[in-house]
């Protein structure tokens, strides 16, 4: 007797695939609701705490190149990170979504003044004004996500821009996320790449080394 296969949904997708998408969409909605419910003062305080922990990382200090998203209103702020990295003499590269595709390119910028509203209303570099990154420089990449889990897997906006980029990136990856959006486990696929380090306003979690620390001088403790 042959094993039964999942019955297709009305839209033609297997029920399991449909259910995973539904779970992800539900998680996106709850993470958005949490972020939109943060008051301005609380968000600013959390953003500052995340920034402090991020720039305290040894990996950040050693990196000559910082790749980072340019934050939207509901995201962990990166504008101050960009200013600080540039002031420290680091090279900074930010993404631009390529029109008509689901790919993004990174451009080196020397000032936030080089950015202009682009896809989805996000500030992006302008071709011709900033230098297109065509080589893999390595370094440190700050990765956005609506949610992350304890293993470093992320839940993005569902377009796959960063999934494709991270599959080619050979540096250190750091997820920046509010503690209230961190889950014990998120659905993920075989080819999904977890971040190496997860930074929240409460702690630094070194995924690749299996340890966590409060980020306030406390002793390190290994994850179980």
What is the DSSP secondary-structure string of 198-219? EE-SS-EEEGGGTEEE-SSSPP
| DSSP bridge partners of 66 | 92, 140
Domain 15-216: top CATH class: alpha beta
Note the pLDDT of residue 179: 97
Q: Domain extents for the chain?
A: 15-216
Instruction: Render each residue's pLDDT in the chain as its tens digit; 224 residues.
Output: 444 444 444 444 444 555 888 889 999 999 999 999 999 999 999 999 999 999 999 999 999 999 999 999 999 999 999 999 999 999 999 999 998 888 899 999 999 999 999 878 899 999 999 999 998 899 999 999 999 999 999 999 878 889 889 999 999 999 999 999 999 999 887 778 999 999 999 999 999 776 666 754 433 433 32
Strand, coil or helix: 13: coil
Q: What is the pTM of this model?
A: 0.84
* Cα 114 to Cα 107, 109, 111, 175, 190, distances in angstroms: 10, 7, 6, 25, 38
Strand order in the sheet with 154-155: 154-155, 147-149, 182-183
CA atoms within 13 A on the CB side of 125: 24
pLDDT at position 102 is 84
pLDDT computed for residue 220 by the predictor: 40
Inter-CA distances, 128 with 109, 131, 133, Å: 11, 7, 12
Angle at 161 between CA 61 and CA 132, to 5 degrees: 60
Beta carbons of 62 and 212 less than 8 angstroms apart = no
Report pLDDT for 89.
98
Strands 211-213 and 221-222, how do they pair? Answer: antiparallel
């Amino acid at each position: 007797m042959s094993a039964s296969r999942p019955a297709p949904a009305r839209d033609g997708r297997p029920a399991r695939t449909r259910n995973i998408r539904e779970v992800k969409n539900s998680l996106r909605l709850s993470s958005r609701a949490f972020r939109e419910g943060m008051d301005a003062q609380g968000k600013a305080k959390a953003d500052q705490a995340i920034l402090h922990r991020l720039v305290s990382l040894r990996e950040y200090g050693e990196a000559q190149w910082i790749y980072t998203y340019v934050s939207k209103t509901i995201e962990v702020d990166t504008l101050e990170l960009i200013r600080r990295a540039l002031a420290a003499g680091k090279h900074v590269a930010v993404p631009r979504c390529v029109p008509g595709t689901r790919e993004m390119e990174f451009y080196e910028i020397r000032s936030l003044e080089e950015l202009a509203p682009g896809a989805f209303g996000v500030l992006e570099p302008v071709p011709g004004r900033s230098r297109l990154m065509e080589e893999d420089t390595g370094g440190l990449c700050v990765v956005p996500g609506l949610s992350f889990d304890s293993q470093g897997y992320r839940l993005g906006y569902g377009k796959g821009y960063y999934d494709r980029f991270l599959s080619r990136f050979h540096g250190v990856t750091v997820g920046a996320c509010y503690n209230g959006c961190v889950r014990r486990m998120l659905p993920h696929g075989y080819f999904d790449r977890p971040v190496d380090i997860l930074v929240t306003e409460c702690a630094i979690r070194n995924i690749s080394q299996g340890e966590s620390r409060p980020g306030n001088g406390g002793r390190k403790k290994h994850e179980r």
